[in-house]
Structure 1
């Protein structure tokens, strides 16, 4: 009698095996043990499409379950109907610890499925940099091709995994010129999928010649893109004018980033406000208020709509907020030394202003120019004194979260990677958009001093404008005086209003920072519950402002920062000016 089959043409699965599979999917370890104690041979049986219980456990991502099944004799190299082993499944989950357990049990990492895909291809499809780093530490390469001639980089481009994409480009791990069986390079795939930033990175990496490479259909990346123009996807919409412009240039031309756009955002607040002053003073002297209202509304509206990055496929950091802050400092100093001095009752106020301004500019320069506390390499293994690896984390069953995708090292628990600066910082507090710089271990105290100093400068400005107003508008009521200033002296009035709001913001920020410092913590690394007394907190603030370590803290910080040779976070040259600050 013929064996009964299902509609897929496969033999029915043992009911006991189905129960075991369900228990594994439910992570019911006790039930799995009971079933296997009664029938240990179930670990060798196969279910639908040749899947074993170890395949199912790997698909569930349960390390404890995988260990349990291996103890009962499960085969880490068993294949299903598609020639996929449990290592393939574990790689799809992107869990290095899972693959490490299989590897220790004899699992083969150099194995391919029916379509020619290796575990590295599966990790690339998932976008797990942890998994890719594990394979590299195990000596596996990233240039293997499947039956469609696709490398792991092709897989990453198809799914748009940015971190894995950057990882495979770094150190020449993958060949971005490799064409698949259809003649498509990774750039063709990025363009087809509307992956704008990835396309930009590839063009920077390869040069403009890559835009003229044709696939088997004779299509360049621009030809592929034009097929999707009608879809109006954001990625396709961004890429069309860029690729059209770049394709028309000579292939040996140097690729320029959005430098003009970057400088426009940086200088726009200063230039717009200066233009408003010129128009108000020289063209419409009796309607100054309207001119300044239009200028300020434009600047404020632009700032409110702005994000941390430029609206460009390069994703450069947006300098608009830094430009706004600089414009405020610059125009304050212009008012200080051009308009107000002749109305001051005592020259000592002018000298104090000069001193405060010089100190403010010095702190501003030091904040921009100094190293905030860059972590240049990873933590060291206590025994070997070598950098800790992903394999070390797997051996200790530690979390992979401390591995930095960009810098490719295992950082300490109080180190944070800044995505705008593209590097790790020790005891990071925050990334300051107004400085285009991170605030971390080396410049945190200087940053707080800068806030305090800026508060003094703004207070001095308001005091001096008080003398200016009482001198220029003697005997007038405030309501009448404000109306006159709006129409005839709005430059000063607008600066006063902005300084009032700025002081409120600065005081709240100083209060917040001192509260964090009082607990011996940072904005990013903090805990709400503190056992410190008021005296402890006071001494913490005093010690912090003196540049010393915290007097007492209940948060576990390390004693000293790490100073190792710098490690380039990304090989593609970044041309925007902020990198040179």
Structure 2
């Protein structure tokens, strides 16, 4: 079997010993120049002997095969201009274009097709350019071949496998999503042994692949059997691993369903509301524990903390939905503090109209910001990058002709996006000026809501200060009442009594205190990034290396402009080709 990663090895030819001594170093030097991406050295070698481009080495590989595999457009262009054959076959009937598709550089493939490379040739295994692109998992290459050639995405090789089979086998999830989108490839197609892509995904235990295939082809895929009579369910049941047994339990519930499966909505709602109702039950139960209420609450909240720390950013289901447990924890804590503040502390501290008014205004602002941050648009980039030169959005042709780098092509939206746009796999949207994805809001923090995020943190911090202050005021009133009852003068006994008799308030006070410290650190980090003109994402990716440090005046101006500029999700995207 041939692999495109094989290196070119010169093959001796029947020439005189003197000529062989002179020719062999040139061959080796050319291959080394290709590996080092040295254009100038390649030109020097070709000036001495252009016939070297027609010479074949091990497995009949030509220098153009090696150049295409390297993905260097300048070297490929040089070789073709000097007479290299773009349709030369190696021992496995693979062409340089096949290798270029495997490498995944669209500009190289585009240039070769323009200069005579035949995209419809197949190798001995029946694989065309689409199959080689699928081996690499390059969505940009698959999209280019679909857009500019008449190649059929469902064409099988001699084993009956199409590019969807290959994408699953090679674990290329973006390619799978691309092919499953709009039913570009039928997921129910079988190879010569009756195997579907779902059989492969179940055998390998790829949960996210399985869910994508089921959403594209319906639950009927679970009933398709291969030549051995095994369905995907049978494979999961017979494979003796813990992961496959869990997988069998997850997909067996869809065995009798038809159409695309529905997600675990009840699990999602449970995770969302668990923290609030758990804390409610704990606090209500502690009221009937008499002197043990504080100990009971401490143990139960330790369990809640352990459960929260064990949560991941996605739920434990093959659908891999974003986990709402963190949203429930954050919102549930705010709701409990609000109920305790307005329903317990303020009535006990009355009269305090000014404190109630200020807290009500802050709470209203916080609720508005919270709703906006959870349900609002963080700055989704719905348009392709705009080219000023041609007065139109950028397309795949611009990428193929080198007017925009391939890194700007998004394999999920199939568009060329702006340089400051980043695709979030949790939100499944490209967003502009991404700072981070906030698990506690289940939304991205980006160009359209970044300042709202910081304002929410500041508003919540003010509410937490208010809660802690009013809690200590309430504690002072209780101290006086207990002192009048003759229960002691030192402060410590009152604190212990407070802990035992009112665990609801004492634990919410502790929660507000530590949350205030964490949010203060987060605000400091966010404002530091704003003043430096960067984001958390750029800092983590170390994209600001080598930049000149800003002056203090410029940093203050950045902070001022950040808060006064209008919120506009439609940030203009311009590029001059």
**Common fold, TM-score beyond 0.5?**
yes
Residues of 2 paired with 1:540 and 1:195: CA distance?
45
Residues of 1 paired with 2:191 and 2:500: CA distance?
69
The C-alpha deviation readout for 1:215-251, integer Å capped at 9, x for no partner, is 2222211122234x2244x3x244211232322x2x4
Aligned pair partner of 1:327 in 317, 323, 332: 332
* Runs (5+) with no aligned partner, structure 1: 1-9, 550-557, 564-581
Aligned pair partner of 1:239 in 247, 265, 277: 247
Equivalent in the alignment of 2:91: 81
Mapped pair 1:306 → 2:314: no
Shift of 1:366: 2.1
Is the 1:445–1:547 contact (alpha carbons within 8 Å) kept by the matching residues of 2? no
Equivalent in the alignment of 1:574: none
Mapped pair 1:367 → 2:373: yes
Greater mean alpha carbon deviation, residues 60-69 or residues 456-465:
60-69
Mapped pair 1:545 → 2:563: yes
The C-alpha deviation readout for 1:409-467, integer Å capped at 9, x for no partner, is 11111111111100011222221111111122222222221111111111111111111
Is the 1:449–1:545 contact (alpha carbons within 8 Å) kept by the matching residues of 2? no
Q: Which residues in structure 2 correspond to 1:45-444 (within 5 Å)?
A: 45-139=55-149, 140-227=151-238, 229-232=239-242, 234=243, 236-247=244-255, 249=256, 251-252=257-258, 255-282=261-288, 284-344=289-349, 346-348=351-353, 349-396=355-402, 398-444=404-450
Residues of 2 paired with 1:281 and 1:254: CA distance?
48
Greater mean alpha carbon deviation, residues 33-42 or residues 270-279:
33-42
Residues 68 and 524 of structure 1, relative CA distance in 2, 3 Å threshold: same
Residues 401 and 477 of structure 1, relative CA distance in 2, 3 Å threshold: farther
Mapped pair 1:507 → 2:517: no
Is the 1:286–1:487 contact (alpha carbons within 8 Å) kept by the matching residues of 2? yes
* Runs (5+) with no aligned partner, structure 2: 1-9, 14-19, 484-488
Shift of 1:533: 3.6
Residues of 2 paired with 1:114 and 1:454: CA distance?
66
Is the 1:427–1:525 contact (alpha carbons within 8 Å) kept by the matching residues of 2? no
Is the 2:137–2:167 contact (alpha carbons within 8 Å) kept by the matching residues of 1? yes
Equivalent in the alignment of 2:4: none
If the length of structure 2 is used for normalisation, what is the TM-score? 0.88
2:426 is paired with a residue of what secondary structure? coil
Greater mean alpha carbon deviation, residues 256-265 or residues 391-400:
391-400
Q: Which residues in structure 2 correspond to 1:458-537 (within 5 Å)?
A: 458-474=464-480, 476-525=489-538, 527=544, 529=547, 531-537=549-555
Residues of 2 paired with 1:431 and 1:362: CA distance?
20
Name the count of aligned residue pairs: 540
